[in-house]
Structure formats: structure tokens, C-alpha cells
């Protein structure tokens, strides 16, 4: 049998296009569930915990194709997650001549540069992409960068793809927009990972200037989202390793929490829920995120966090989103173990706290996940 990564690109594209058409049509025509999700986020005891299982890379779509589409048609997602462009590629204005083929670069060996000036790399057989070069090599370049290269959140057409999708699902599904790489991730994509950890100690004034610019970008983007009218916004910013936070909680509160508070306040004033995504063990800042205005916390990695302890300390103060182990359970577990894990999650983080839980993998479903395990996941998440 041919490795799915070896099939021609045009065939991959056909698989992805057919999958998306079927998945979206199923959601658009299914029984409306928007209020179910809104009640879950407010911990108002909806009839069941809703689910968002559309957490996929191209790899898993290409591998499973119609089999995966069948599951999304049988069990349509309650949440319509809408990203106007792929996080690793970013916005490409219509006039860009060297347009990046997102599917191509994320399925082959490739390098490309996004609108921020960050160069990304993808290795064949890998999932996702990694920054390999950054535009602000020295802080002496900051003024020039901010004046000449910093992106415009109001760029014409930036959210056009999102508007079309939101119009399709509005009122039927809970529509979730996104502000990707909101602050910390964008900071180290611009300055480099190692440089950033030195900068927060040695160049605080420059860091604050760049954080202010990034915050203003996010605020502008939120204003554009507000025109479209989703129900909530997923902010993404990974803060944790598998063991702990990447910087001290004290520094996080001093440098970053005020920026998040401004973003979340802007979202709330526009009537948007705030869902915050941060991989790894972020236990030390959960309280700070709630203080800043987070309505739902994602992704709750079981291998990095004690979910029972998180539920006990923060249940009732914030809704939960995620919690299903994608690193080991989905790929190596049995269908029975997957069903048991979902039931445990509902009983531990959902039912005791007004069903304030949106069931979802803790990150993208790995392409090596067997289809029978995916069926067990979908069935368990949609049981009443």
C-alpha cells in the first residue's frame, strides 16, 4: 500500500477538498447546537458536554480521507472553528506574487517566509512547522521593523475567508474565530527562541515596546473579527513545557498578563467569549488567565497537567476545552480505553461544574491514529 505522504499533490488536494466539503455541509445542515456550547462555556448545565473534534493536520486528512469524513458527517462538530489562514503560513494578500501553497509546504520538505518576516521550515514526514529564522536580529532594527514591516491587522481581505465560513454556520454552530500566536509565540518568532529568554531579562524596555505593538495588532484584529460576529475567539500562545512554565509566574504577570487583559476586555466588549490555548503545563498561570478574563481554558494536556487537580481548584470559575490525550491514548490506546477516558473526563471536569467542558483532543490528532480509535473517540464524545 502506498504511503499516504507519497501520493501526488493533486490527489492530496482532491482528498482535502472533498473532506472539507463533506464536513462543512454536515455541520451546516445538522440540528442547531449553538446554545448548547454557549451554555457549556457559561457552565449552565447543557444537556451534554459539547465537542470540537476538528483538530487536524493535513496529514491525518490525507491518510484517512473519506473514512474520517464519514465520522464528521455522522457526528458533526458542535463548534465551527474558523481560521482565515493557516497558522504557519499566515495571511497572504491577493497581490502577493510568490504565493505559498499551504498544502504543498506542509506535506513536503519546504521553507517559506510569512508576512511577519519569519522563515518557517517543514520536514517531510513531520506535522506542522517550526520557525528557522527571525527578522529582528538585533534590537537596533526594531524602529525600522515597526515602521516598514509590521503587518496591518486591517489589511483588506485579511478575514474574507473567515467571513464566508462564519456566514455558513452562524446560528447553527458555535462559531469560533482565532487570534493565532497572540503574544509570546509571536515574540520569539520575531526575535528567536533563545534570544527571547535573554531579552526578558536584559532588554525589558525593547520587549515591552514590541509587546505593545503586538497587543495593538491583536486589538485591531479583534475589531475586524467583531464585524464578522463569531461567538468566541480562540487565542493561541504556548507557555508550557511538559513539566512547567517557560518563565517565572512573576515575570508572566508583570510583562504579559496586562496585555492579555486588554485583549480579553476588547473581546468581551464586542460580545465574544475568550478561549485561551496554551500547550504544556501551565498550572501556575491558570489563576492569572482567569483574572485576565479567560472564559474557557484549552487544551489541558493530560501528560503535562493533573486534570483532576485543575478541575478541583478551578472548576466553576472557568470552562474547560480539550483534555483528551492525543500524545499516547489516541495512537496507542484501545477503543475501550478511549471511551473510558472520555467518560472520566466528563465525570471529572464536566458534570460537577455545570457541564462546562468542550470535549476535544489536547492538540492535533496525529496521523498515525487508527480509524477505529477515531470512531471510538467520536462515539464517546457524542453520547448523551
**Does residue 125 belong to any structural domain of this protein?**
no
SS3 254: helix
Q: Judge whether 231 and 174 are in contact, CB under 8 Å.
A: yes
User: Whole-model pTM?
Assistant: 0.97
73-80 mean pLDDT: 98
Residue-level length of the chain: 384
Q: Which three cell numbers stand for residue 244?
A: 512547567
Interior angle at CA 174, CA 170 and CA 178, nearest 5: 95
Q: 3-class DSSP state for residue 247?
A: coil
Average pLDDT, whole number, for the chain? 96
Half-sphere exposure in the Cβ direction for 342 (13 Å, CA) = 29
Kindly report the CA angle at 323 between 240 and 78, in degrees rounded to 5?
A: 120
Average pLDDT over residues 308-318: 98
Number of domains the chain contains: 1
- Name the least confident of 1-10, 20-29, 113-122, 220-229: 1-10
pLDDT on residue 326: 93
Residue 45 Rama label (left phi>0; alpha psi -120 to 50; beta): left
User: What is the pLDDT, as a whole number, of residue 2?
Assistant: 67
Bond prior to 159 in cis (omega within 30° of 0): no
Question: How confident is the model at residue 127, as a pLDDT?
Answer: 87
Residue 120: inside a domain: no
Which residues fall within 8 angstroms of residue 221, CB to CB, at 6 or more apart?
153, 158, 179
**Amino acid 132: pLDDT:** 97
Taking only the tens place, the pLDDT of each residue in 131-170 is: 999 999 999 999 999 999 999 999 999 999 999 999 999 9
Q: What's the distance, Cα to Cα, between the start and end of the chain in Å?
A: 38
Q: Can you tell me the mean pLDDT for 225-245?
A: 97
Q: Is residue 97 part of a domain?
A: no
In angstroms, the CA 221 to CA 179 distance is 7
Percent of the chain with pLDDT over 70: 99
Residue 5 lies in a domain: no
Q: Is residue 2 part of a domain?
A: no
CB count within 10 Å of CB 236 equals 22
pLDDT tens for 19-39 read 999 999 999 999 999 999 999
Nearest to 326 by CA among 58, 56, 3: 56
* Per-residue DSSP letter, 152: P
**324 SS3 class:** strand
Whether 1 has a pLDDT exceeding 60, the answer reads no
Q: Alpha-carbon distance 37 to 326, whole Å?
A: 22
What is the mean pLDDT of the segment spanning 48-52? 98
**Residues contacting 164, CB < 8 A, separation 6+:** none
Cell of 348: 471529572
Q: Which residues pair with 236 in a beta bridge?
A: 277
Residue 94 confidence class, pLDDT cut points 50, 70, 90? confident
Beta strands 319-324 and 110-113, pairing class? unpaired
CA–CA dist 141, 153 (Å, integer): 21
Q: Are 358 and 40 in contact (CB under 8 A)?
A: yes
For the beta carbon of residue 231, count every other beta carbon within 10 angstroms. 23
**What residues make up the domain containing 329?**
12-84+133-381
CATH of the domain at 62: 3.20.20.210
pLDDT band at 95 (very low <50, low <70, confident <90, very high): confident
Buried b (16+ CB within 10 A) or exposed e, 278-304: bbbbbbebbebbeebbbbbbbbbbbeb
DSSP-based three-state secondary structure for 328? coil
Strands (E), 91-203: 110-113, 119-122, 130-133, 174-179
In this structure, is residue 160 part of a structural domain?
yes
Q: Give the pLDDT confidence score for residue 327 in this predicted structure.
A: 87
Residue listed under C-alpha cell 531579562: 201
Beta bridge partners of 176: 81, 232
Residue 197: enclosing H or E segment and its boundaries? helix 193-202
Q: Dump pLDDT digits (tens) for 198-215.
A: 999 999 999 999 999 999
Query: How many whole angstroms separate alpha carbon 89 and alpha carbon 103?
Result: 10
Amino acid at each position: 500500500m502506498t504511503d499516504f505522504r507519497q501520493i501526488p499533490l493533486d490527489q492530496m488536494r482532491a482528498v482535502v477538498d472533498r473532506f472539507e466539503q463533506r464536513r462543512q455541509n454536515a455541520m451546516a445542515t445538522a440540528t442547531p447546537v449553538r446554545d448548547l456550547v454557549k451554555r457549556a462555556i457559561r457552565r449552565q448545565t447543557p444537556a451534554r458536554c459539547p465537542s470540537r473534534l476538528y483538530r487536524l493536520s493535513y496529514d491525518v486528512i490525507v491518510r484517512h480521507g473519506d473514512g474520517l469524513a464519514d465520522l464528521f458527517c455522522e457526528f458533526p462538530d458542535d463548534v465551527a472553528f474558523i481560521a482565515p489562514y493557516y497558522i504557519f503560513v499566515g495571511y497572504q494578500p491577493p497581490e502577493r506574487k510568490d504565493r505559498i501553497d499551504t498544502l504543498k509546504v506542509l506535506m513536503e520538505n519546504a521553507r517559506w517566509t510569512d508576512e511577519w518576516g519569519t522563515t518557517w521550515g517543514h520536514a517531510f514526514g513531520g506535522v506542522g512547522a517550526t520557525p528557522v529564522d527571525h527578522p529582528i536580529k538585533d534590537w537596533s532594527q526594531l524602529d525600522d521593523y515597526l515602521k516598514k514591516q509590521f503587518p496591518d491587522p486591517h489589511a483588506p481581505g485579511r478575514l474574507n475567508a473567515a467571513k464566508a465560513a462564519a456566514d455558513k454556520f452562524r446560528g447553527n454552530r458555535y462559531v469560533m474565530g482565532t487570534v493565532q500566536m497572540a503574544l509570546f509565540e509571536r515574540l520569539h518568532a520575531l526575535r528567536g527562541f533563545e534570544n527571547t529568554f535573554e531579552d526578558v531579562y536584559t532588554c525589558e524596555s525593547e520587549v515591552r515596546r514590541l509587546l505593545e505593538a503586538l497587543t495593538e495588532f491583536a486589538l485591531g484584529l479583534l475589531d475586524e473579527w467583531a464585524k464578522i460576529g463569531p461567538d468566541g475567539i480562540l487565542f493561541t500562545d504556548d507557555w508550557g513545557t511538559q513539566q512547567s512554565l517557560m518563565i517565572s509566574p512573576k515575570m508572566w504577570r508583570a510583562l504579559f498578563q496586562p496585555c492579555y487583559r486588554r485583549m480579553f476586555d476588547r473581546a468581551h466588549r464586542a460580545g465574544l467569549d475568550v478561549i485561551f490555548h496554551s500547550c504544556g503545563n501551565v498550572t501556575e498561570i491558570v489563576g492569572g488567565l482567569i483574572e485576565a478574563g479567560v472564559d474557557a481554558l484549552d487544551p489541558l494536556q493530560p501528560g503535562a497537567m493533573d486534570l483532576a487537580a485543575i478541575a478541583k481548584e478551578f472548576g466553576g470559575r472557568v470552562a474547560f476545552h480539550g483534555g483528551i490525550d492525543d500524545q499516547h491514548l489516541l495512537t496507542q490506546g484501545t477503543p475501550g480505553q478511549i471511551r473510558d477516558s472520555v467518560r472520566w473526563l466528563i465525570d471529572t471536569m464536566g458534570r460537577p461544574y455545570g457541564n462546562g467542558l468542550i470535549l476535544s483532543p489536547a492538540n492535533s490528532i496525529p496521523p498515525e491514529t487508527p480509524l477505529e480509535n477515531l470512531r471510538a473517540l467520536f462515539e464517546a464524545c457524542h453520547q448523551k
